[in-house]
Amino acid sequence: MKHGFVEKLIERIGRVGPAEVQNLIDRLLREKGFFETIFDAIQEGVIVTDLKGVILYINQAACALFGLEKETTTGQHITSKIRGLEWEALAGQERVTIRDMEVFYPQNRFLNFYTVPLGLDPVAGDGENETSAAAEAIGYAVIMRDITESRRSTEETIESERLTALTLLAAGVAHEIGNPLNSLHIHLQLLERKIRKLPASIRTDLPKSIEVAKGEIQRLDQIVTQFLRAIRPAPMETRRENVNEIVRESISFLRAEIEQRDILAEEDLTDGLPLLEVDRNQLKQAFYNIVRNSFQAMGAGGILRITTGMDDTFVYITFSDTGGGISTENMNKLFQPYFTTKETGSGLGLLIVRRIIREHGGEIDIVSTEGKGVALTIRLPFRDHRVRMLEG
């Protein structure tokens, strides 16, 4: 059985001459308190673990970053206190590993951290050449730096670019509004002329003109509504909800469109899923946009399959269609404002979907096979997930 950090130090001290042992122990005790005071004074978070990931030491800054208490944290495995940390991947390295992470609790922060393997150099007198013998691994040091402000500065630059994009978006929306208005104006003029000539009884062609006018008004309303949702998101009102019920309600709401387009909607919903803290109306809006995108991609006779399930952390909802798929060059443009491959699309649907899912702490994954269709998966967290590892 491997010894812990302190035991290994004591074992090494035991090889020193007896007269020096007491002095070394006294010095270690004094220096332990001295260094703990220093580590508690610095702003960087510091966590020291053994080889298995059990926390041996944590400073005040690290406790503040993750909302922890020293007394209840020391002696616990690091993943039990920092959920979402990919410790197995980090601890398996024999070199310094640098990663970024996003912390959700107690405050939303971004951290840059590096994991350093700790080792004891061979002691002289062991019969080994100190210059060639490898250090004996005893644990890891995890050092964290708060990079929230620098990330925010970068995000402000990105936000400025987005505002520019939204200005272009507004110009495009104005163009989209112009065409329906012109059509609406023409049909209303025709309607007015006919009303002047007709007697009190309504002719059969009059409802047709009225219907065209209504259709254009509805299209105009959808464009304006989506535009406003994209640039002015509504605050979330979350409750514990059954995601299967939300899926069923969404499909039921769109049932008329499904039947009109001659599309088969199949539901494969897993029973017993945990309740999620979600905004029911916003999640429905996300589902509507995804389903309508599938409708337009497939045309008549297509199949839309909605599947739900769960893994250790997420509940997932997958929308699979039998459309033509998305080309490789268009995959990277899917979430760009106003990008669309449809003749009448606004290019805002997936932008709204991503915003809604991100505000729920979720993820979106899209897999496309040209000529066969698209599978879009939404993952919504149901466990206490305090951090999210970012791509290295």
156-191 residue pLDDT tens: 676 556 656 665 666 566 666 766 766 777 777 777
| The pair of three-digit structure tokens given for residue 311, joined into one six-digit string | 């893994």
As a whole number, mean pLDDT of residues 302-314 equals 90
- Report the pLDDT value the prediction gives residue 130, as an integer from 0 to 100: 46
Of the segments 265-269, 327-331, 369-373, which one has the largest average pLDDT value?
Answer: 265-269
For range 231-254, the mean pLDDT: 85
- Residue 273: what pLDDT? 93
Q: Quick one: tokens of 335?
A: 């979430």
Q: Is the pLDDT of residue 336 over 70?
A: no
Element (H, E) at 264: strand 264-268
267 near 309, Cβ under 8 Å?
A: no
Under a CB-based contact definition with an 8 Å cutoff, are residues 334 and 351 in contact?
A: no
> Which of these ranges, 209-218, 280-289, 328-337, has the smallest mean pLDDT?
328-337
Decide which of 223 and 130 is more confident.
223
pLDDT at 2 over 50: no
The helix (H) or strand (E) run that includes residue 147 is none
Q: What is the amino acid identity at position 118?
A: L
The predicted structure's pLDDT at residue 243:
95
Which amino acid type is present at position 197? K
246 pLDDT above the threshold of 90: yes
Structure confidence at residue 275 (pLDDT): 92
Percent of the chain with pLDDT over 70: 67
DSSP-based three-state secondary structure for 247: helix
Does residue 318 surpass a pLDDT of 90? yes
| Look-up of token digits 């004074």 | 41
Return the top range by mean pLDDT from 159-163, 199-203, 207-211, 371-375.
371-375
Both tokens of residue 285?
Answer: 């809006």
pLDDT value, residue 160: 59
Distance between CA atoms of residues 85 and 95, nearest Å = 18
Q: 306-319: b or e for each residue (b if 16 or more CB lie within 10 Å)? A: bbbebeeebbbbbb
Closest residue by Cα to residue 330 from 287, 366, 292: 366
> Average pLDDT over the chain, rounded to whole?
77
Q: Which of 12-21, 131-140, 237-246, 326-335 has the highest mean pLDDT?
A: 237-246
Peptide bond preceding 122 in cis form (omega within 30 of 0): no
| Predicted local distance difference test score (pLDDT) of residue 132 | 45
For range 374-381, the mean pLDDT: 91
Task: Output the CA torsion 163→165→169→171 (10° steps).
Answer: 90
| pTM score above 0.85 | no
- The answer to whether 230 and 337 are in contact (CB under 8 A) is yes
How much is the average pLDDT of 194-205?
68
> 287 or 149: whose pLDDT is higher?
287
Give pLDDT, residue 229: 57
Torsion, CA 321, CA 326, CA 331, CA 336, rounded to 10: -80
pLDDT at res. 1: 38
Q: Is residue 6 predicted with pLDDT exceeding 60?
A: no
Q: Write the pLDDT tens digit of every residue in 21-51.
A: 566 656 666 777 777 888 888 888 999 999 9
pLDDT above 80 (res 330): no
